[in-house]
Amino acid sequence: MLVLVSYDVSFEDEGGKRRLRRIAKVCQDFGQRVQYSVFECVVDPAQWTRLRHRLLEEYDEERDSLRFYFLGKNWQRRVEQHGSGSSYDPETDTLIL
């Protein structure tokens, strides 16, 4: 299933920049950045559980926000890409680490 993850991290406290880096790193472990604070993550149910758990451990619920959008298994029909930047298909594109 495709889960779109977006986040907004507050910089009003000293830990904001650190939380931002950690949240981005967790998202990168599971998906592809499509905008600065938005990631597309193709995950199975077990991976989704781990992703959600790790993100909820990193954010500050009093200062930050996390949003999850579930596009399901047939997500290809629900996503349109327009404008600059190349489109990324996590199921067919090769990712070299």
Residue 60 counted as an annotated binding residue? no
| Element counts in the chain: helices (H) and strands (E) | 2, 4
Residue 18's nearest CA partner among 67, 58, 50 is 58
Residue 88 and residue 31: Cα distance in Å, rounded?
11
Contact indicator for 50, 59 with CB cutoff of 8 Å: no
Helix H or strand E encompassing 27:
helix 16-30
Amino acid at 74: N
Binding residues: 8
Binding residues for Mg(2+): 8
